[in-house]
Chains A and B, each alone.
Chain A
């Protein structure tokens, strides 16, 4: 692995800073509707996307800010989208759940759980037909594995050997539902086995582990070996959305997971091997927060779309 650790740290800190700012945005009345923080899951987004080629495609979920940031989406335009401004990626029509940047092959966050299975595998089918070297990575949560579309799409991806990576972020909660109560199989990868895909499990709190797994999977998918499946175990530190009282889970459970905080883990590893100093870490952390603040300041200055724009991009 090339020495990407500082890059990992920078991007994870940026995602942490972005999603940590969401409650403030609500409190200030700057955003409405739903937005879903992926605090605790940064290593999955960053490890996975960094292992791809820039021309590869990514599909995302309702909990997708981290995926977009890892792919390289501009923070000001992302913030502007959350704030409903004209310069937002979706010109204020999508909001948090639909961040997309086709300019960097980020095919969008989807508000329908499991909605991106088909979009990802279909994009992979097109890439195969058009003889492209690029591949597609689909992020989804463990809750989405109970959508019937997974069986249909993964089966077709397997019979046609499509260049797609199914990356399951097992954050242990689908709103309030836990996989041990909702999944009939013990291991997440057993679901993939059912359609003939040998999945692997990775520690989703360890960015290097995720990177290595996706790097290898991407090489296989690119070489025509067909779909790959990775289950990354992580944890949703916060509620389903901002304001979720989380009566369904024990705070002691979250505390245990917080000890494995992906950013803290990487920081500890780098400190212990003298690859980073405390000062440098603080600099990176401050820079991430400043970046989020600057993006917010710029976005908050940007105009809202004129009401006439509700009628744009309409054809039927």
Chain B
């Protein structure tokens, strides 16, 4: 999968025609690692841009207000990225006429080891769901697959699961990279960062990590598009996808097969209801 030349051409054109202020794409590193985000503001600097299967980062993260305040942005999105963008548009975080969207019909990206990423193997929508132009051939929606790691954990009993997650929460260093790299976490001030002593959990304990990660995943439930920005960002390599995929599966199974951001103007699962939603667990 290589759209390097096309991306360079599009970015140069948009910048020289003054249709955008900044083009956000990917650049190579000095070493043979996965690509990094790049902000290009000049048509002559577009030679730095690349796009291959190493271009994994979800760039819609930079549409959060503090990164691109009042700027017109040109952006490269893959399938999952575009679903996040759909949600950001619906939730009024981005103005549609401020973004020029170059959609890639994605064939999957690779992880740090060079293997196809797990979320790409389980991908449900490789095509961009919102775009101004498309590169590549559309392949259509795929059947939903339950995440294998989540399934494996459910085979274990309660005590084993709690030991596993205790290890996870103990390793969290509360850097908040997960929150900052997630496009859908755009709150100017996170609810758990309030400074009163009964609410604030700045200290790095297993309990504070439980509180932070659980609240985060439940606020993201029904809105997470499984781009794995969070997991790639985590310096402790925590398996954060377990929490999000677990929520996604419950939502997909019980709420009419809902998946985040598939349709324009679609809202997260918790902003809708159905009269037949299950409530047999309620006394």
Instruction: Decide if A and B are genuine partners.
Output: no
Point out residues on A near B: beta carbons under 8 Å: none
